[in-house]
Amino acid sequence: MYPPDILLRKKALKKDKINVILFRAFLLTFYRDDMSKIYAVITGVGSYVPNYRLTNEELSTMVETSDEWIIKRIGIKERRILKAEEGRGVSWLATKAVEDLKSRHNFDPLSVDAVVFATSTPDYLLPCSAALTAAQTGMTRAFGFDLEAACSGFIYALEVAESFIVSGKYKKVMVIAGDVLSTVTDYEDRNTCPIFGDGCGCALLEATTEPIGIMDSVLYSDGSSPEYLHMYGGGSVNPSSHETINNRLHYIWQDGKVVFKHAISNMVSACEELIKRNNLSRDQIHWIVPHQANMRIIDLVADRLEIPIEKVMINIDKYGNTSAGTIPICLWEWEPRLHKGDNLILTAFGAGFTWGATYLKWGYNLTNGSA
């Protein structure tokens, strides 16, 4: 038995403890967002496009087309092609992109926790290109994997990276996105070969408690109509054989008109959903960063969103459609003109179909070429 004064003190202590617990619960309930919310912000971008320029004139010697037709109907003047004498595989482009990021933004490759690589043209079916790139760039502490969502790959990979970071488990994630589409382009098919090019970009995402970086996203996929845009050879349905080669199944095939219509309506609806959900006025949007598939698609998306074309990042004339690479290559090219806090809407559409939009607040200003 305790004497009565000790019992009283114990009671008071217990009451104090309960009060502290209740106070903490109150703080967590009402101030949780302000106190502990983690955001994922892009702190640097890098890019690489191969040296060889495949011009419309040269394409006109390969298929029945013309510089005039391609510029008028697609808006491309030239695209870059990775020739074997320069390098091989998408991890080679990715390594160059990560080195570019490293040369302009101070970051330690060993500090990266994870590498998410969006590509439809990995070096090999296995091992994954993320692991190869991580080894080639010193990100040896990170785990890595590839993600395949065709032209929407970059915004899908951003979603994965952001989720890793806001979970609190990882602090730095390298998102890489790019393709070597020249390896799966049929240079005898004039419906596809003028469109595609090679290129790769990357973005480093870091955790912050500042309300900046990726603010929201909407992603969709619909696999009910693969017949409109596909590459049927080389997978587990049609493993590589003489027959798949003879039937040209290792090349991308598309029904351009159908894809064109879906691309416009789906990118517009995804952007509208995101803009509405975040109460953004058109004036508050600094940049739209669309997938670069066709200049007419970009024009129509901007028009339907009522965004002036001056606020739209466009470089399709120089690089064509590099699939997962288009959006990070745009961010890299516009990086010197971006300011901390700028509101960007990224939007993409690709095979699957896959599509969506990401709303992000830009995270830094470049001074003298570095952050």
Q: Which residues bind ligand UT7 (CB under 6 A)?
A: 65, 69, 73-74, 151, 190-191, 194, 254, 256-257, 259-260, 263, 293-294, 297, 321, 350
When the beta carbons of 69 and 334 are compared against ligand UT7, the nearer one is 69
Q: Which amino acid is at 369?
A: G
When the beta carbons of 46 and 194 are compared against ligand UT7, the nearer one is 194
> At closest approach, how far in Å is the CB of 339 from ligand UT7?
29
When the beta carbons of 151 and 214 are compared against ligand UT7, the nearer one is 151
Burial 213-233 (b: 16+ CB within 10 A, else e): bbbbbbbbbeeeeeeebbbbb
C-alpha 126/C-alpha 124 separation (Å) is 5
> At closest approach, how far in Å is the CB of 58 from ligand UT7?
13
Residue nearest to ligand UT7 (CB): 256
> At closest approach, how far in Å is the CB of 75 from ligand UT7?
9
> At closest approach, how far in Å is the CB of 316 from ligand UT7?
10
- Torsions phi, psi for 139 (to 5 deg): -85, 55
Beta pairing partners, 253: 230
Q: Which phi-psi region, left, alpha or beta, contains residue 341 (left: φ > 0; alpha: ψ -120 to 50)?
A: left
> At closest approach, how far in Å is the CB of 362 from ligand UT7?
25
> At closest approach, how far in Å is the CB of 191 from ligand UT7?
5
**Which element (helix H / strand E) includes 298?**
helix 295-305
**Which element (helix H / strand E) includes 108?**
none
When the beta carbons of 129 and 192 are compared against ligand UT7, the nearer one is 192
Task: Provide the sign of the torsion angle of the four alpha carbons 220, 196, 294, 204, taken in this order.
Answer: positive
Report the residue count for the chain.
Answer: 371
Q: Which of 78, 50, 88 is nearest to 325 (CA)?
A: 50
Q: Are 132 and 91 in contact (CB under 8 A)?
A: yes
When the beta carbons of 83 and 296 are compared against ligand UT7, the nearer one is 296
Active-site amino acid positions: 151, 291, 321
**Which element (helix H / strand E) includes 52?**
strand 52-55
Q: Which residues contact 81 (CB under 8 A, 6 or more apart)?
A: 50, 52, 53, 54, 182, 197, 198
> At closest approach, how far in Å is the CB of 254 from ligand UT7?
6
When the beta carbons of 109 and 153 are compared against ligand UT7, the nearer one is 153
Burial 236-264 (b: 16+ CB within 10 A, else e): eeeeeeeebeeeebbbbbbebeebbebbb
Structure tokens belonging to residue 263: 């691309």
**In 92-248, which ranges are E strands?**
114-118, 143-147, 172-180, 198-208, 213-221, 229-230
When the beta carbons of 112 and 324 are compared against ligand UT7, the nearer one is 324
Q: Which amino acid is at 253?
A: W
